[in-house]
Structure 1
Amino acid sequence: MSAARPRARRLVRFGLNSADPERLAGFYRTALGFVDAEASAEPDLAAIAGFTAARAVPLRLGDQRLDLTAVTPAGRPYPGDVPGFSPLFQHCAIIVADMAAAHARLSAHPGWRPISTDGPVRLPASSGGVTAFKFRDPEGHPLELLSFPADAVPEAWRGRGAGDVCLGLDHSAISVADTARSAAFYESLGLAVTSRSLNTGPEQARLDAVPEPTVEVTGLGFPDGRPPHVELLCYRDAPPQPASNLAVGDVAATRLVIAMMDEEALRAACAAHAERLVSPGPVPRTRGGADALLRDPDGHLVWLTAG
């Protein structure tokens, strides 16, 4: 019999730590159109990371989930204006039907701070031709508003402009030191490279607030092709950066929650990356299934779940 291999099914939700999730949820609802979601039936962060307690406010935008979670004991606040090339950087990208309307709605609410230096930026065709705007929520988490050219809207987002101006979560972009190393890690879980581009020029500089950036952008998708997906951002010639020292409870320690095909696939992933485990191996649930928490090569947190 051949050995089991990791097989990812899809990215089921994002997890953001928050000092005050109820208050932060108010910003996500009013400024970005999120709505309350049903509480997850899966274990909370305390169960797999050893916290005394964890409470989550589950939110939804379109078909995608985002949980805002406070843990006890609380971790460190977001560490200032972390640049896009830092291994601490990870943002969630929100698809919008109308960038001007979405930016105006965001601008009407206090507390957030811009990353992009001159409002929404239209990138050249070589960088996808999208219009984007990066900013930080009231606790410092980076986010991105993203709209596609009318003639280049991906199939997953077509016909979704009839409701709220903010349509859903397209991806989480994580900054990495080595594209090949990080792509190999996520491919080992069952993701596949779906796109590659090299983004540079003054538009990218305004978007990222990084002088003269040259960014390798690598898209990694799941078997069903549905959003959200993962993007790797590798800034060439960036200043040397220390490795991530984020603790699991720190506000900047965002999590990708990936559903595996089954418990066997989850255990295979844990076996293949035993040195990266944060949890004590797969943590079984009382009603079947298991969960595990591990770090990718740059320290970003990945929560694997099955069952």
Structure 2
Amino acid sequence: MSNIQYVGMTVADMEQSIKFYSEVLSFQKIKDLEVWGEDWEKLQGVFGLRMRVVQMQLGEEVIALMEYLTPKGRPIPIDSRSNDRWFQHIAIVVTDMDKAYEHLRQYNFQHTSTSPRQLPEWNQKLGGVKAFYFKDPDGHNLELIAFPADKADDKWLKQPDKLFLGIDHSAVGVKNAEASFALYRDRLNLELMLQAENYGTEFEHITCVFGSRVQVNSMKGSAGIGFELLEYIAPTTGRNMPVDSQANDLWHYQTVIAVSNLSTIAEQLRSAPCQFISPGIVKMSNSELGFSQALAIRDLDGHVLHLVEE
């Protein structure tokens, strides 16, 4: 079992972030606490940390906002682009893209996409999907996505009266999807649900990367949100994750995956294409965030995964 529970992201100003996600995107705060201690230092890989964690819910899905009270990290590079391999986003499902975009325009946010775009019908797997990339006040990548009825999960069709419904997936930039499968598919048991290519002027204006051609690899666990590996076939100029990245840097995301056999997986990961952040399985001093032990790793491209067990 691998349940992709939620994605966490490091923020600079918690109150600013709470206001943005609640007022702009209709999330509701469900948990607010501070954590510190040796267990969290080992799990996050940051010595001396004290961290405020706020969980926000939209529909059935949750995100975690993390502000490091100490030590502070670095801002997201202002020239970050969608094909840089520190790219990660969450995709928020909306019922009406035009209304959602007009709603956003009332607030302070950063465009990535020129405007919302609809993928062309010649793209059999993705045609008709509408998407818009933008950023929160810290520069974290976000996506609005609207599905045509024939490509929508049933759960997104049940609340036509709401504008913002929930989180469909998180996506990360990878250099080589086939190599990444050795971790995500073969060790973490995520199932490859769909492979497709995105390209053309509509997609270029969504990513704001000229000449974008991306292989989309949509994966799914036994429960939870989807997870996409985005391999840029072109252009190949995307930059690698900084090798000195830390969890208190604002480009840090952590994807939290619940598993039922953490000790077995930990042993298997010793020979997997990943890097351990924590020295091994960390026993938590309490289970306030829903798990009693956890393991933190980086994938081949530096994206952080927290494998947790109740």
Q: Does 1:67 align with 2:70?
A: no
- Corresponding residue number in structure 1 for 2:283: 284
2: CA distance between counterparts of 1:56 and 1:46? 14
Q: Judge conservation of contact 1:266–1:282 (CA < 8 Å) in 2.
A: no
- Corresponding residue number in structure 2 for 1:295: 298
1: CA distance between counterparts of 2:265 and 2:100? 38
Identify if the C-alpha distance between structure 1 residues 269 and 279 changes in structure 2 by more than 3 Å, giving closer, same or farther: same
Q: Report the Cα offset of residue 41 of structure 1.
A: 11
1: CA distance between counterparts of 2:143 and 2:40? 25
Q: Report the Cα offset of residue 256 of structure 1.
A: 0.5
Q: Judge conservation of contact 1:18–1:251 (CA < 8 Å) in 2.
A: yes
Aligned residue runs from structure 1 range 22-171, under 5 A? 22-39=15-32, 45-46=40-41, 48-49=43-44, 50-51=46-47, 52-71=49-68, 72-110=70-108, 112-117=109-114, 119-125=115-121, 126=123, 127-162=126-161, 164-171=162-169
Secondary structure class of the residue paired with 1:236: strand
- Structure 1 window deviating more from structure 2 (168-177 vs 124-133): it is 124-133
Q: 1:11-43: per-residue Cα shift (whole Å, max 9, x none)?
A: 111101001122111011011000011358999
Moved over 6 A (4+): 40-44
Give the % identical residues: 31
Identify if the C-alpha distance between structure 1 residues 39 and 161 changes in structure 2 by more than 3 Å, giving closer, same or farther: farther
- How many residues of Structure 1 are paired with residues of Structure 2 in the alignment? 295
Q: 1:187-206: per-residue Cα shift (whole Å, max 9, x none)?
A: 12111100000111111011
Q: Judge conservation of contact 1:60–1:66 (CA < 8 Å) in 2.
A: yes
- Structure 1 window deviating more from structure 2 (290-299 vs 46-55): it is 46-55
- Corresponding residue number in structure 2 for 1:231: 228
Q: Report the Cα offset of residue 243 of structure 1.
A: 2.5
Identify if the C-alpha distance between structure 1 residues 264 and 128 changes in structure 2 by more than 3 Å, giving closer, same or farther: farther
Aligned residue runs from structure 1 range 240-279, under 5 A? 240-245=237-242, 246-273=245-272, 276-279=275-278
1: CA distance between counterparts of 2:307 and 2:34? 14
TM-score of the pair, normalised by structure 2: 0.88
Aligned residue runs from structure 1 range 176-255, under 5 A? 176-187=174-185, 188-224=187-223, 227-245=224-242, 246-255=245-254
Secondary structure class of the residue paired with 1:258: strand
Instruction: Show structure 1 runs of 5+ residues with no match.
Output: 1-6
Report which of the two has the higher share of strand.
2
Letter in 2 for 1:210: V
1: CA distance between counterparts of 2:34 and 2:307? 14
Q: Report the Cα offset of residue 158 of structure 1.
A: 2.4
1: CA distance between counterparts of 2:50 and 2:171? 28
Q: Let me know the Cα RMSD of the aligned residues.
A: 2.2
2: CA distance between counterparts of 1:99 and 1:176? 28
